[in-house]
């Protein structure tokens, strides 16, 4: 008989990237080993149920949907107000968690998404066997980088640095650490932020894996070497330093181009940097695109770049692996531990000027056909080790460890 688990997955939807896709894949894999109840947003219901009808495989998952009535969330639009809405959602679903767990004799509660350690969990769920994460959100960016950001973003990063420094005094964070039976940590900084008396419950564990896919040769519709970078245009994603590095690289090699996939509030600033550097012919924006088109671009490019200055855009990094593409990334102490120098160039996050220079060097190194093809071949060799099926087995192993431990008590 399978163990029962209730998973709180605010972000959980099929055919999506980022944390939404993490919530989806993670719960599918868990259902192979456990009987799973998934509490998620009502807005996810249509896509989830459409996927279930079309899927040839039946999964052992019971979905529970909840959203605050639309008339009471008029102030939330897209990501605007998401933190406030999430806090309210956790508070208002606490009774649903309690009712579901009691009626179905469930004793394990897993807070999956959102994976931000500064955000709350169900007060009832935390009193049960409590699995937390993968969680993070304690990474901060030095002032040397943020001083170039717009004022609002500088204030956000200042507030984050302040919150991280005060984590020992953060009652909610310390309570979650104390109550948790297992803490999946996205990065070294998250692991280190946990008080030593609770750290034996923590494991380093990235939240992303790759989808198994057959790599088909894509038609090359451009000359030279194509680099792509993916993500929402938030300053901490490092698009500005990437563009500056690309501007330096273009001075040496004019047969390279950069395609930026995504959109967001920082776009105007990025366009101004491109214009100032005079590289409008080398850098293009696609805007937000459907996931099918994203996969087409991933298959057709030569190199994938993740310029995030802290743990982020992890899905695109692992997608690079799944398509057999070499990766350029900046060390975050999280997902980068899975990427070796045989199929990636991971540069340390040092001073801003040095990081730009190192990014430039990495771009030029990857422009060499022999180097790039060798790394691509290595990526194709290792990609199957990181598929979701294997990630599911790792999740099962960690969770069963605490279940067996509790049974011995």
Q: With a cut of 90, say whether residue 42 has pLDDT above it.
A: yes
Share of the chain above pLDDT 70, in %: 96
Q: With a cut of 90, say whether residue 176 has pLDDT above it.
A: yes
Domain ranges in the chain are 4-208+387-408, 225-386
More confident of the two residues 78 and 194: 194
pTM of the model: 0.89
Same fold: 4-208+387-408 with 225-386: yes
Q: With a cut of 80, say whether residue 299 has pLDDT above it.
A: yes
Residue 13 pLDDT: 94
Residues 225-244: tens digit of each pLDDT:
999 999 999 999 999 999 99
> What residues contact residue 384 under an 8 Å CB cut-off, 6+ apart?
212
Mean pLDDT of 277-300: 93
Cα–Cα distance measured from residue 119 to residue 388, given in angstroms and rounded to the nearest whole number: 26
Residues 133-142: tens digit of each pLDDT:
999 988 888 8
Record: fold of 225-386: Rossmann fold (3.40.50)
Residue 383 pLDDT: 85
**Contact 243/274 with Cβ under 8 angstroms?**
yes
For the chain, the average pLDDT equals 91
Residue 371 pLDDT: 96
Is 4-208+387-408 a CATH 3.40.50.2000 domain?
yes
Closest CA to 325 of 252, 382, 287: 382
Q: With a cut of 70, say whether residue 219 has pLDDT above it.
A: no
More confident of the two residues 81 and 131: 131
Residue 75 pLDDT: 75
**Contact 184/134 with Cβ under 8 angstroms?**
yes
Cα–Cα distance measured from residue 146 to residue 155, given in angstroms and rounded to the nearest whole number: 9
More confident of the two residues 15 and 93: 93
Least confident of 102-111, 286-295, 360-369: 286-295
Cα–Cα distance measured from residue 407 to residue 400, given in angstroms and rounded to the nearest whole number: 10
Q: Is 353 exposed, middle or buried (0-12, 13-18, 19+ CB in 10 A)?
A: exposed
Residues 189-203: tens digit of each pLDDT:
999 999 999 999 999
């Amino acid at each position: 008989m399978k163990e029962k688990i209730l998973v709180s997955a605010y972000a959980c939807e099929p055919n999506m990237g980022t944390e939404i896709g993490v919530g989806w894949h993670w719960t599918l894999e868990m259902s192979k080993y456990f009987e799973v109840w998934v509490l998620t947003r009502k807005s996810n219901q249509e896509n989830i149920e459409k996927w279930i009808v079309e899927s040839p495989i039946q999964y052992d998952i019971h979905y529970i949907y909840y959203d605050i009535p639309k008339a009471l969330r008029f102030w939330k639009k897209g990501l605007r107000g998401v933190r406030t809405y999430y806090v309210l959602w956790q508070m208002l679903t606490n009774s649903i968690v309690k009712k579901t767990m009691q009626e179905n004799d469930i004793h394990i509660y897993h807070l999956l998404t959102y994976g931000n350690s500064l955000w709350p969990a169900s007060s009832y769920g935390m009193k049960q066997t409590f699995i937390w994460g993968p969680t993070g959100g304690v990474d901060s960016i030095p002032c040397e980088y943020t001083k170039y950001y717009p004022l609002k973003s500088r204030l956000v990063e200042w507030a984050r640095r302040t919150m991280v420094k005060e984590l020992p005094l953060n009652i909610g964070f310390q309570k979650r650490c104390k109550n948790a039976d297992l803490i999946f940590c996205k990065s070294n900084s998250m692991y280190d932020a946990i008080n030593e008396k609770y750290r034996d419950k923590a494991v380093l564990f990235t939240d992303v894996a790759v989808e198994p896919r057959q790599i088909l040769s894509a038609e090359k519709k451009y000359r030279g070497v194509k680099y792509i970078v993916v993500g929402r245009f938030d300053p901490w994603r490092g698009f500005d330093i990437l563009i500056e590095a690309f501007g330096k690289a273009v001075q040496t090699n004019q047969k390279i181009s950069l395609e930026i996939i995504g959109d967001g509030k920082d776009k105007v600033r990025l366009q101004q940097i491109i214009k100032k550097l005079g590289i409008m012919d080398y850098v293009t924006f696609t805007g937000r695109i459907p996931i099918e088109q994203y996969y087409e671009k991933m298959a057709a490019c030569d190199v994938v770049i993740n310029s995030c200055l802290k743990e982020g855009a992890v899905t695109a990094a692992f997608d690079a692996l799944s398509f057999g593409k070499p990766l350029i990334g900046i060390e975050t102490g999280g997902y980068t531990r899975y990427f070796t120098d045989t199929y990636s160039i991971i540069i340390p996050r040092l001073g801003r000027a040095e990081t730009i220079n190192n990014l430039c060097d990495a771009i030029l190194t990857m422009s060499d056909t022999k180097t790039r093809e060798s790394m691509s071949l290595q990526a194709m060799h290792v990609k199957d080790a990181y598929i979701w099926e294997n990630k599911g087995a790792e999740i099962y192993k960690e969770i069963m460890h605490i279940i067996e431990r509790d049974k011995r008590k």
